[in-house]
Structure 1
């Protein structure tokens, strides 16, 4: 692509990029500019209030997250993509949550690691663009760097930011992954669409820990997804009972969202449920030793939290489960080989089972 390409040529290229993206399995492709200055004040305030918790990398990169051309010098436009992941199993979400003896795992993590899937497809998209225009500068992002992906996608007609801070689409609700291709191609930007949350506040009201402190404002320190995935240490005592049987992530704000009634089932084989994780007992998972965890979770996004954190999360869920002799035996057996972190949570769980703590 020549530097002096006409607007018509660039528009035609943008249309072809969207078509290639569709052929590669993306359900939507949008193109946006790089001026995110209107998002900087909100980001600065969010960080200043400490809502990022222990995710120091968010503060470390500062406003680079809102400045694509500083994050990747030479960036002129951003290609945002959406890939749906909803599996048939996700439709049973409330059923699993209502059974305190079962383990609830966020629906996005039931299949293969999405980072690998999206990165591979985005690399293929970049290769296809290269075949068309020759060498060009680009960088792929799949939730792997400090990128304001929702803000970028919102500006490309892929959807709008919901009050739970996730991107929402009229066609797929919020059951999808986002990825980006930062590029030095001066592609024409799409026009942002309208927002459709209206006066609805179901996501705020349903949040178990009230982590959505205001519309469009999330305190990660209270978020169950943060506590079970990003947080490495001891889970605050006051929040443990509120976690229920959620051992990896939380979908309550998505399960209750009216727009998710229109979500389509993904045909992506990589996102099919693995190892029956959509509906499995807590005691069964707690019995996994580290070798079993590593084998079963290989290729899963869950693998990165490690066995210790997995056991910690399960101990909390077992403490929240209805009193049961089998649960007590499992916790006592696990205590023998537990690390100090896990042992602390097992002790709490045993007290909960005995009614010592509420």
Structure 2
């Protein structure tokens, strides 16, 4: 039996907009483009959430639950979605409880692998140890996969490819201002290249200390609900992270033709090569500084070449056209594992009507 209007619930517990939220937004958009009904389910209502604005803009259904797992459990029995797909440790735990108590077909995606502490570490430990309860487990990098107990399928993060444009001139950091993202090294770069403007898009616990030590050529733009208004101004994205999976910021930047200069952590080496950007050994600030210097001294021809190569890398292996069908395949595998006699069928006619930006 085939089901052409299947419902997929994308579940998360979230207060802010970051990499997981961007992933969920791109996944919901990609599923809808292929004719697969998708809805984003927030486990709790924390008030205003910037993701909701994005969901409304793209016509994606969503709901905010008031009582966590109990509300999710009741909604599931009332509406019986075909697939419930968790993102993040709290959502994954709730989704696996749903599986345990109702035999709902479930998928859990593991996005992060950085060291946590306190209550977050406890949630993370429970989530990873109970991974096998889900019908299918997805990890966004091999490094994250190693920390999951049980069999997981590694599927790339992805973005929709944007129309080609020529990048701007800013050297930028995009992300949370927390220790694992390494913004301190970005401050050091700004101090060294005093004649070049540097820009930080993001907020976080290190904001106050970073602002105190920042040179005058560094501009803080604060938290951004939507980076689409700013990518056109950026010429180089710097990612001095101590730990990453496969960061959405790198994918978004490269889809706009912006090369990335980063420490070689996570799966960035699957995305970035010597033509589309620069990777240097983790923590080697001297080499990071040299790469920024190379970008600053590059000719227009060299800049254009890197722009083309950056877009090509995303189109080839990290676009929604490539990755969404892999996710749908995992959905169908989960349905088989749970002995559900239906499968999700891609709406090929809908897919044919989508605009294509595949040329480089």
User: Is TM-score (shorter-chain normalized) higher than 0.5?
Assistant: no
Answer 1 or 2: which has greater strand percent.
2
Higher relative contact order (CA 8 A, sep 6+): 1
- TM bracket, shorter-chain basis: under 0.3
Give the TM-score, by structure 2 length: 0.27
